[in-house]
Structure 1
Amino acid sequence: MQRFPFWLIAFPLSLFALASCDKEDAPVPPVTAQFQPGKGVFVTNEGTFGAGNAEIGYYDFDQLAYAGGLFQQINGRPLGDVAQSMTLIGDEGFIVVNNASTIEIVDLSDLSSSGQMGFPSPRYLLPIDDQKAYVTDLSASAIFVVDLEAREASSTIPTQGWTEEMVRIGDEVFVSQRFTEWVYVIDTQSDQITDSIQLKIDPSALAVDQEQKLWVFCGTDYNTFEPGSLYRIDPASRQILKEYPFDDLDIGVWPRLKTTPAGDSLYVNMGDLLKMPIDAAELPAPWVEAGGRMFYGMEVDPMTGWVYVGDAIDFQQRGQVYIYRPDGSLVQSFQAGVSPNGFWFY
């Protein structure tokens, strides 16, 4: 494990004692912590593939400070290999640990583990109601239907390969299928694929705007070397309302789409960061230029509208997080864990 500094950070109801460790260090005894809704944001640090150094951090709004390595500090064991994503449902967090074939379930009040679910190579979890969720998977050629009470898969929805992001619009869920031309449409009542939308190759990131229109980011076709496009789609008719073709093949390390809290504008991470109204005639100039940074995770604070962006740097060393106001000015930056790929507001 990479060595981290340690310090004490005072939170409203507790102190975090953060200790560093090497492979040769003795196991660190668990510590206690307390988190309150509206007081901060959890950060998933993916880690380096195969190194088993994924971790969860927390940025405290009142203290303006970041604490890292919390899962291991609180639970006395590592989180695992590749923290892909995290979903917050009520008072529980579902941490998708992709290369460990696990979804770790934690109590959000103290980040203590309350259970695990196993999957071949999970990517994202989307709650459908209080009892049911869907889980996409890299290698299973299926989407898993999960019984949240039993904490296990109850059935599967067959697919043709790697399924990625999901968004819900009404009673339907739209799912991107990587390295194909398809976005699947799932009926949440029957848990069946009922339709599909054909686009350019490699749909990945998805978003929904204030008019309940679907946005899809399609990447580069490396067979034909054709640049990708950003699409706005009517989810009811499945028709493309607007296509924004990319000028070149360079779309950054991992595309992200997020909306403003009002849903009237879209943030796009495609190397540089773009900000565009949902009725834009064309892709805009960069809102924030990468300037050599490896922009990775991105999320919008639903309360302030501030944009949190992770810089993976080289996917080996600890990354950096930048917080931007809607006008593009920098609020603050802080050092996170290795490959910060997501921000989950509690």
Structure 2
Amino acid sequence: MKTKKLYLGVFLMLLLTSGCKKENEAKNPFNENLENGVLIVNQGSFGKGDGDLSFYNRETKKVTNTLFQTVNGRPAGDVVQSVSRYNGKYYIVANASGKIEIAEEGSFKEGGVIKPLYQPRYFLGISPSKAYVTEWGTDGLTGTVAVIQLSTLSITKRINVGKGPERMLQKGTSVYVACSGGYGTDSTVFIINTTTDEVTDTIRIEGAKNPNSMVIDTTGMLIVLCGGKMASDFMSMEVQPALVTINPATNQVMSKMFLTGTYSPAGNLCINKEKTVMMFSLLFG
């Protein structure tokens, strides 16, 4: 009789466990494999707090909108600027909300918040315990890089850099920070040592304006895209965008190639896996 009761108890426990699992799965409508597609950042309307992400599945050609809200019951934040995947998590930077929402890689369920941040732009994972986040500051001119302790999601330090810091690129123990000018202009790339979290050098790009993104090419050179500067009438470019080659061994500017005939600021420089093709976007098409 005792044996029968034991079997019955185990059977009921298995039923309860199975039922809970199915109930939890039903509550999470997200069932896409993110490896099969592309995450798309949707800033949303300023002040509405409706920024979110879309997912495009390359295999099915299907687009899933409001991804974060679908899973978590609320939008990601006000003016979603960027998203980065690092160490099994997604870090969603909400610029106007002054925060980073963290989503788990498998389920996309919320996994914490990093705040307060001041007009945050981009996240870069440095190690499993540390990350950097570029900030424009409350005035759009006081550029800093926030140092994040990932285990506690706390801000341990802010490193002063140029105006409007944008994308970062890590090479060894050095992180290059492109300073885009924010609400003004700038022509600098700051270098931070990831061991000390201190600025070790500043590269000044004479003649070009507003560096915003970077890649490493096949020769190991750092290629920086300077977005350029619009004229006061916003109808033409006062300074054309430029691709600048920097030797990371010496931090010296080796060459500048201005993109003549371009009538728009340029940004979002990236390079393919083979490092044979570089691409960038134009603000006005």
Matches of 1:182 and 1:135 in 2, distance apart? 17
Partner of 2:131: 133
Out of 75, 91, 114, the residue aligned to residue 111 of structure 2 is 114
Partners of 2:79 and 2:94 within 8 A in 1: yes
2:163 counterpart SS class:
coil
Asked if the contact 2:41–2:53 (Cα under 8 Å) also holds between the matched residues in 1, the reply is yes
Q: Partner of 1:14 in structure 2?
A: none
Partner of 1:220: 228
- How far is 1:211 from its partner? 2.5
Matching residue of 2:11: none
Task: Tell me the residue number matched to 2:200.
Answer: 194
Cα distance in 1 for partners of 2:217, 2:32 equals: 30
Tell me which amino acid in the other structure corresponds to 2:221: K
Aligned to 2:281: 269
Q: What count of residue pairs does the alignment treat as equivalent?
A: 245
Instruction: Spell out the pairing of 1:145-164 with structure 2 (5 A cutoff).
Output: 145-164=147-166
Structure 2: 5+ residue runs without aligned partners? 1-26, 233-237
Cα 1:149–1:210 change in 2 (3 A) is farther
Read off the aligned partner of 2:274 and give its amino acid letter: A
Task: Tell me what 2:36 maps to.
Answer: 39
Which of 80, 83, 87 is residue 86 of structure 1 equivalent to? 83
- CA deviation profile, 1:3-57 (whole Å, cap 9, x unmatched): xxxxxxxxxxxxxxxxxxxxxxxxxxx6421343522222111123333221111
**Pick aligned residue for 1:75 from 45, 67, 72:** 72
Taking the aligned partners of 2:37 and 2:226, their CA distance within structure 1 comes to: 32
Distance in structure 1 (CA, Å) of the matches to 2:171 and 2:224:
14
Percent identity over paired residues: 26
Q: Distance in 2 between matches of 1:202 and 1:165?
A: 12
1:160-213 CA distance string (max 9 Å, x none):
432111001121110011221110011111111100111122111222223221
Once the two structures are TM-superposed, the CA of residue 223 in structure 1 deviates from its matched residue by: 6.8
CA RMSD, aligned part only? 2.2
After TM superposition, the structure 1 stretch with the greater mean CA deviation from structure 2, 136-145 or 108-117, is: 136-145
Tell me the distance in 2 between the aligned counterparts of 1:90 and 1:113: 15
Paired residues of 2:162 and 2:186 also in contact (CA < 8 A): no
Q: Does structure 2 conserve the Cα–Cα contact (< 8 Å) formed by 1:220 and 1:249?
A: no
Which structure has more RCO (C-alpha within 8 Å, separation ≥ 6)?
1
Distance 1:198 1:141, change over 3 A: same
Once residues 123 and 46 of structure 1 are traced to their aligned partners in structure 2, the CA distance between those partners, rounded to angstroms, is: 12
C-alpha separation in 2, matches of 1:183 and 1:79: 30
Counterpart mapping for 1:89-104 below 5 A = 89-104=86-101
Which of 209, 212, 215 is the aligned partner of 2:217? Answer: 209
Amino acid at match of 2:213: A
Partner in structure 1 of residue 179 of structure 2: 177
Q: Deviations over 1:89-124 (max 9, x none)?
A: 122100001011110000121111111011111100
Sort the Cα spacing of 1:64 and 1:97 in 2 relative to 1 into closer, same or farther, 3 A.
Answer: same
- State the alpha-carbon separation in 2 of the partners of residues 70 and 93 from structure 1: 12
- The match for 1:259 is 271
Could you say which structure has the higher helix fraction?
2
Runs of 4+ in structure 1 over 3 Å off: 221-224
- Give 1:245's aligned residue: 258
Q: CA separation in 2, counterparts of 1:189 and 1:96?
A: 24
Contact 2:39 2:56 in 1 (8 A): yes
2:87–2:128 Cα contact (<8 Å) kept: no
What's the CA shift for 1:222? 4.3
Looking at structure 1, the residues matched to 225 and 162 of structure 2 have their Cα atoms a distance apart, in angstroms, of 19
TM-score for both structures, normalised by structure 1: 0.66
Which one is further off, 138-147 or 64-73? 138-147
**Paired residue for 2:56?**
59
Between stretches 113-122 and 159-168, larger displacement belongs to 159-168
Residues 225-240 of structure 1 mapped to structure 2, 5 A cutoff: 225-240=238-253
1:124, 1:161 → 2: CA distance?
A: 14
Cα distance in 1 for residues equivalent to 2:198 and 2:225: 24
AA aligned to 2:37 is G
Tell me, in whole angstroms, the C-alpha distance in 2 between the residues paired with 1:160 and 1:197: 11
Residues 287-307 of structure 1: CA deviation (Å, up to 9, x unaligned): xxxxxxx55xxxxxxxxxxxx
From the superposition, tell whether residues 256 and 65 of structure 1 become closer, same or farther in structure 2 (CA, over 3 Å). same
TM-score in terms of structure 2 length: 0.79
SS at match of 2:70: helix
Which residue identity does 1:55 align to in structure 2? D
